[in-house]
Structure 1
């Protein structure tokens, strides 16, 4: 268990915008930050971070919470893991009690897989640095590649001993279960025997954006033609190669800062460039680039520069990746190295200044790159040239932005010496065909004649008034609960003529005290369980503190009610996402009339409950045959109607 003092220190020190900024590219938006949702595929920002309140809200997925909640959602950390991650980031010493064997057993399977992977990572590093075989074979290989000690340590490079079960047997002796060694792919179990998957290989740990070890890549050092040169961990619950980029953990901050990401092919390409000083570089780890990998980069920057080897065949095979990048609405440039060179070898032979100069002079737009690659095959053949043009237009058609498409059409026209009109027609055909595939074919008939399809009439969603009113009460408590306001209540009093009249009575009270006493007087209880829990926690908290701070309160609430609370808190910030003020749409702020707002919500809740009671009693009369009982119920209904009329007067409504 982590001591409360450590948890408190973490919450006091951690800055939400800094932590989330490691995973998502954030841009200033008034007093807040906004960015693309890390939980869904979107092109318009719906993700908001409030540095003042230390909370975040993702309006596209509905998720939200504090800094720990973000790490638990995004990185699938447990609560203790999130606290440890933050403690490490901010150099806070962790005080905790020793876990018992029983507590270790209670860790879920996914967490056990992470623990086994972390253990294997340590084992491979120790094997590299502390065994004769590791030093003679593994360390020698890394040194021959030109990696420094600092780089080897930075990327946690290791070595798997050239024996059948070195890792497996030692892990089992340490208490790790064979089933998790097998499920992570570290061990292979066959015919009641187990052996190491990565026997005799130098090891490259593959880390998530937060630095957790998800899997491994291993390179064989012998000339065994039957064995694969590179071997990756198999797919598992924690490792999905199509969703991971090698080097993203080390590159994320520079990618966001430089607003550009260099994309290469292999592990050593990443490491060598990083060592040279190009630190905003990642790799697809030898697999074909996927949409998920591109979206991972998209959270940090809109700009990708793809670095290709000098091998022409390899470049042609990788052109598909460019189209995928364009589909995500990103800007893509390309740089190719001289024949026989790759990013690894080029970085080894040149200084940082030389590499930067080369990248600056040789990086080109994807249209120019594609034209140069494809034109080599045309050999002045008009048919082949037409195919090249069609291929280039197909790439342009992937771009979502209409202005960018037009600019690229103009560029393609100039490069290929073909009219813009022809290119625009071809583009329209391609985009029309693509859109037609996604359109329903219900209007098609056997004769091909047009049919009028009646639009579906959507049933209007009925508003749950009680839910909305209860939600408003929670909102008021969160935003204005500790604020002291002047309230005016209308009290029934007897005048000189002996008549009952409504007279105003003014008094000062804290907002939460006013709400609590009004709801208690009417014996009103929340029907929504989450609101009931939140109300109880809120009232207790407001009673105990003089200065209510949302960032402190949010750390005390149960995780299941966090998304609802953050949505309530951040709801008004949502206007900033749509830039309403820029469009001269001004939203009225409640701060100028808090007391009136509070009174109206409470009165509306009372009135709603009275109307519910009237409807309930009316239904009882319909179903009852007892005249005496009906007479009593009718009197109750009349009393409730009178009460409703009084509330309507307070709300300035005419019945």
Structure 2
């Protein structure tokens, strides 16, 4: 079982990783001052760039939406990977071998190499299938796509291909690319008989199935010819890469929109995903030959809420009995969601692909928008079994529906659905509510305690209690403005500060509570001799959680300097002003002590205080002359 990655190795990954190079894989960056870059934020829509990156401190911050962090958190949000997975990816990128706590192990080099070979084989296979779709032999596949309203450009967008009818077309191609038969047996691309291995997919339309990172890990194949004895749809079998309970078709194309819209739409097939996404429902995905289950829910959680709560999950099923059954299976998993769950079923029984062909893109969008809460759907599907015109029918319907209502997580919604159920049944609301409470009590006594998923390494778990409110400091106050500027300098250029400047930081008394909290975190990080590679991140981790984004903002805001010399002068001037304020505080304290001296106090005491005042004033004038 993998152990926790050692902190020193995580720090080394941060040190070696160029955050600018990481971000530039997703964002076009332009210079924004000395050591600073900016671009359009990948986390929200904007026309003017407000996303800033400062490689020197390894931090990014968006002044538009507030997203911030380091290279690790950036990739976690972009690729929706766990903390450990992301660190392992970055470590492989920089050639660093990771070590794990308590003798735990990460992915060894041999297994990583084997996995990469499997990924390479799938990439070559996808390219082969896509090329084959352009050949005359693929006419039947081209026809099927056209009949469903998909153009060649649409097929290219989703990577659709064609598997030739022969037994070894792909096999020969992969062998020519250097793959051994032993490797190909592990890919799931081949079947094996008495004479050896041969192509698993033959004479079929092919859809590549990709993971969150966009890597192809398997394929789905649709039958084209009547003489094909196989099933209508044939998928890759379980392999090291492909676990059908853990993959969602279309997730690579939909993940960005899912994160933005906080909504995921689950449809039933490959062509439904294509139709929905082409119609404008960019959050559509599908399971691959299995029901939407626990592992799919984990993927949805990561996409919808960045390890928090909220969002919508919408199940779009066919209107037939099988579709209703699928919706009820989804309902059984509902309690695992933090999101709100809905269902939409087209009344005439058409799936999204058929609906798009028949009525156009708008009809698909309208179908999704006319979603119904999954609880309501599940209740009403149960009610239709009974004759509600009879007492017996209503009582039996209540017995079936009461546990469904009792299962609603939100206690504020439960009474509302109980009243709705009373209306649908034509029964006394109080009687229905009593049945719901009784059903809830039976469920609590019968069911074992539900355990929570283990938090992945590096993923924050909310603590109980309300968080304090931190007001944004008002920089119209000159002193508060100076405090902010001083923090910007200390966060961005700590190594440039003199011992005297650090003395000013340690002794500063900031009037803005948020500034004071950041200053305390800076002092703690400096006392711990935090390396530059973790400087900003350590301070972000030390401040109260609501101030983490504020720290990142201070760490990336461009400083008003056009050259290194100007920057050094600016930093020195800011720190001198901080020291100046500290001197003024010290002078005020000395003057107070001087005024409080007793009349009969020894003259030496007053002389000593006056000497200290004079020294402070000389130091203050010297600093102002330097500024």
* TM-score interval, smaller chain: 0.5 to 0.7
Match of 1:316 in 2: 325
In structure 1, which of residues 205, 208, 217 is the aligned counterpart of residue 208 of structure 2? Answer: 205
Cα shift at 1:267: 1.0
Asked if structure 2 preserves the Cα contact closer than 8 Å seen for 1:19 and 1:67, the reply is: no
Determine whether 1:303 maps to 2:306. Answer: no
With over 3 angstroms needed to count, the CA separation of the structure-2 counterparts of 1:68 and 1:376, relative to structure 1, is closer
Match of 1:246 in 2: 249
> Number of paired residues?
435
1:607-618 equivalence runs, <5 A: none
Match of 1:108 in 2: 113
Asked if structure 2 preserves the Cα contact closer than 8 Å seen for 1:218 and 1:231, the reply is: yes
Match of 1:569 in 2: 540
- The range that moved more, 67-76 or 220-229, is 67-76
The normalised TM-score by structure 1 is: 0.56
Match of 1:335 in 2: 344
Cα shift at 1:335: 2.2
Asked if structure 2 preserves the Cα contact closer than 8 Å seen for 1:481 and 1:511, the reply is: no
Asked if structure 2 preserves the Cα contact closer than 8 Å seen for 1:246 and 1:267, the reply is: yes
Match of 1:173 in 2: 176
What CA distance in whole angstroms lies between the structure 1 residues aligned with 2:439 and 2:115?
44
1:210-225 equivalence runs, <5 A: 210-224=213-227
Match of 2:471 in 1: none
With over 3 angstroms needed to count, the CA separation of the structure-2 counterparts of 1:382 and 1:167, relative to structure 1, is farther
Match of 2:132 in 1: 127
1:228 alignment partner, SS class: coil
Cα shift at 1:402: 1.7
Determine whether 1:373 maps to 2:396. Answer: no
1:223 alignment partner, SS class: coil
Match of 1:272 in 2: 275
What CA distance in whole angstroms lies between the structure 2 residues aligned with 1:78 and 1:21?
21
In structure 2, which of residues 237, 241, 258 is the aligned counterpart of residue 255 of structure 1? Answer: 258
Determine whether 1:402 maps to 2:411. Answer: yes
With over 3 angstroms needed to count, the CA separation of the structure-2 counterparts of 1:152 and 1:306, relative to structure 1, is same
2:249 alignment partner, SS class: coil
2:413 alignment partner, SS class: helix
What CA distance in whole angstroms lies between the structure 1 residues aligned with 2:23 and 2:258?
27
Please give the per-residue CA displacement for 1:84-138, whole angstroms capped at 9, x wherever unaligned: xxxxxxxxxxxxxxxxxxxx99961122221111111111101111x3212x232
With over 3 angstroms needed to count, the CA separation of the structure-2 counterparts of 1:71 and 1:353, relative to structure 1, is closer
Match of 2:517 in 1: none
What CA distance in whole angstroms lies between the structure 2 residues aligned with 1:409 and 1:19?
45
Determine whether 1:149 maps to 2:152. Answer: yes
1:333 alignment partner, SS class: strand
With over 3 angstroms needed to count, the CA separation of the structure-2 counterparts of 1:12 and 1:270, relative to structure 1, is closer
Cα shift at 1:297: 2.8
Cα shift at 1:567: 5.7
Please give the per-residue CA displacement for 1:196-251, whole angstroms capped at 9, x wherever unaligned: 11122110111222322121111111224741111111222222222222122222
With over 3 angstroms needed to count, the CA separation of the structure-2 counterparts of 1:288 and 1:224, relative to structure 1, is farther
What CA distance in whole angstroms lies between the structure 1 residues aligned with 2:67 and 2:418?
45
Match of 2:556 in 1: none
2:225 alignment partner, SS class: coil
What CA distance in whole angstroms lies between the structure 2 residues aligned with 1:183 and 1:18?
42
1:402 alignment partner, SS class: coil
Cα shift at 1:81: 8.7
In structure 2, which of residues 233, 236, 248 is the aligned counterpart of residue 233 of structure 1? Answer: 236
| Bigger relative CO (Cα 8 Å, ≥ 6 apart) | 2
Structure 1: gaps of 5 or more residues: 26-30, 33-47, 58-62, 84-103, 441-476, 488-506, 513-530, 539-552, 555-563, 580-590, 596-655
What CA distance in whole angstroms lies between the structure 1 residues aligned with 2:39 and 2:397?
46
With over 3 angstroms needed to count, the CA separation of the structure-2 counterparts of 1:359 and 1:302, relative to structure 1, is closer
With over 3 angstroms needed to count, the CA separation of the structure-2 counterparts of 1:106 and 1:306, relative to structure 1, is closer
1:215 alignment partner, SS class: strand
